[in-house]
Amino acid sequence: MKIKATDKVNYPPRWKDYEANVPSGLPHMGFGKDTTVGDVNRFGARYRAAKSFKHADFAVLSDSTAHGYTALIKLQLCYSAFEHLLGCLGWSQKDSEGAIPAGEQDRVMEKLRGIEGHEKFFGAAADHLGGDKGFVEDYLAGKSVNPAALAGAIRHAFAHGKLTPGAGGNDGACPGCCFVLVKFLGVFMDREFVARVSKLDSSYPPE
């Protein structure tokens, strides 16, 4: 998605249009019925943090390990923004499946499975999961899985478990897998946010 020159740097596309029309325009955007301007602003802040994060800097780790941690941290930040957006929409993670365009999920699966060592990486993540484990096991069994569910599982295994960049001897698959999921989450968030603000173009034109 192209960013217009009038967009605020590292905020979701059309963020300035959103800001120019709240609070009065919020009910016309199609967010959840209980969503407040503060809720959407918190999503914007999380999105901005994720978008602005470039890399982690460590004193003694190897370049490959640092790159792996960069990817895991980036995924964690992106998933946090994604969770906030779902809350603003009044959706669960399962609800997000219906918003994924036809074929996109399978394309993400193909990209992930094209990364050498992806089975070892996701297998290592599964070893540190509870409720989210089923999504990863389905992926490893060759099924098509909501990429957001995989992203959430990796985030959980990293933030609350023992997942590290080299877990399972994954042959360097960690960064590639994480960045595929980061891309998916970013596109999803941009598309859904723009869809909400675009409702103003017809139903609530700016004054």
- Residue 81's pLDDT is 98
> Quick check: 142 and 93 in contact, CB under 8 A?
no
- Has residue 31 got a pLDDT over 70? yes
Q: What integer is the mean pLDDT of 146-167?
A: 93
Q: What is the pLDDT of residues 37-74, one digit of tens each?
A: 999 999 999 999 999 999 999 999 999 999 999 999 99
Amino acid at 69: Y
- Residue 169's pLDDT is 87
Q: What is the pLDDT of residues 186-207, one digit of tens each?
A: 999 999 999 999 998 865 444 4
Angstrom distance (rounded) from CA 115 to CA 175: 10
- Per-residue confidence band for 6, with pLDDT thresholds at 50, 70 and 90: low
Q: What integer is the mean pLDDT of 159-178?
A: 90
Q: What is the pLDDT of residues 100-151, one digit of tens each?
A: 999 999 999 999 999 999 999 999 999 989 878 999 999 999 999 999 999 9
Backbone angles phi, psi at 186, to 5 degrees: -65, -45
Q: What is the pTM of this model?
A: 0.92
Question: Please, what is the Cα angle at 83 between 115 and 179, to 5 degrees?
Answer: 20
How many angstroms separate the Cα of 206 from the Cα of each of 23, 73, 74, 189, 190? 12, 38, 35, 23, 21
How many angstroms separate the Cα of 200 from the Cα of each of 2, 196, 197, 207? 19, 8, 6, 11
DSSP, collapsed to helix, strand or coil, labels residue 22 as coil
Angstrom distance (rounded) from CA 108 to CA 204: 35
Identify which of 104, 125, 128 has the alpha carbon closest to the alpha carbon of residue 173: 125
